[in-house]
Structure 1
């Protein structure tokens, strides 16, 4: 019972950590573009568009996976209207944080899924199937002599290469 509660607590802490990281990024970007607009209490559409381009640039630079294109200006305009709660034509800090969280959710989930497959599922499947190779002539004896860690690494590398080749085709 304690293990189950510990696992749930770890997941919640991981989610809270992710939320804090996203908040740091949004605050940093908001402050950068807020300084450019001295008299305003939020981001205008022009500054919002540039801020979104910066966020997507960071996502593409720092996170693994395929290139993620930012949404079109028309979609951003529609979303801005949805997230502009006080209807002043500007997004304040809280509105901007919610806006970016929603905008990048799909990209971050796709990246998380690929990492889980490459780092958790592939090594687990490799170790489970190692025994199945015993009956394969020629290959079975070689696979059985490999240490589990080496075999799991080779299979994981293969999965990552297949994922990478799939991204190149898109």
Structure 2
């Protein structure tokens, strides 16, 4: 239950998840390469690994990683000490800037699912009560159950559309 409540908190939860993913990726690459900082090639591999994890862990559509040119440009902007490599602090800043649009897209989907869907459900309940056969069942359902069922249907529909793409 606690995990569900964390997910409902929105942007902060996504930032924590992305921070965990980026820290784990940085540590793994540093351990594999044996270097203290990431070169451009290592950084691009890290970006691919982070986006792979984001696509697995965060709800929403598939997010394509940026091109090498975009990574190189952002690397130059985030390389504070101008040594041509990215250290842990620079990597955190780099990933925060790189994934900011990802957080916005995921947040928008959560807002639609958790706020708009129940509101629409309650607005349409009266119309559904007038449908022959179904109306009697809908009248007996408590508002919270009806809103939950409609929200669940919208989530299933969103996920089905995402799979079709």
TM-score normalised by structure 1 residue count: 0.76
CA distance in 2, matches of 1:164, 1:18: 19
Gaps of 5+ in 2: 1-8
Change (3 A) 1:15 1:114: closer
- Number of residue-to-residue matches in the alignment: 157
Higher relative CO (Cα under 8 Å, sequence separation at least 6) belongs to 2
- 1:89 offset after TM fit, Å? 0.6
Distance in 1 separating the partners of 2:14 and 2:127: 39
Tell me if the contact between 2:11 and 2:103 (Cα under 8 Å) persists in the aligned partners: no
Unaligned runs of 5+ in 1: 1-12
Q: Structure 2: how far apart are the matches of 1:145 and 1:96?
A: 55
Distance 2:150 2:123 in 1: 12
CA 1:157/1:15 → structure 2, altered by over 3 Å: closer, same or farther? closer
- 1:83 to partner: Cα distance: 1.2
Kindly name which structure, 1 or 2, has the bigger radius of gyration based on alpha carbons: 1
Corresponding residue SS for 1:71: coil
Which runs of at least 4 in structure 1 moved beyond 6 Å after TM superposition? none
Rounded to whole Å, the distance in 2 between the matches of 1:41 and 1:134 is 65
Equivalent in the alignment of 2:5? none
Q: Are 1:32 and 2:56 an aligned pair?
A: no
Partners in 2 of 1:146 and 1:16 — Cα distance? Answer: 34
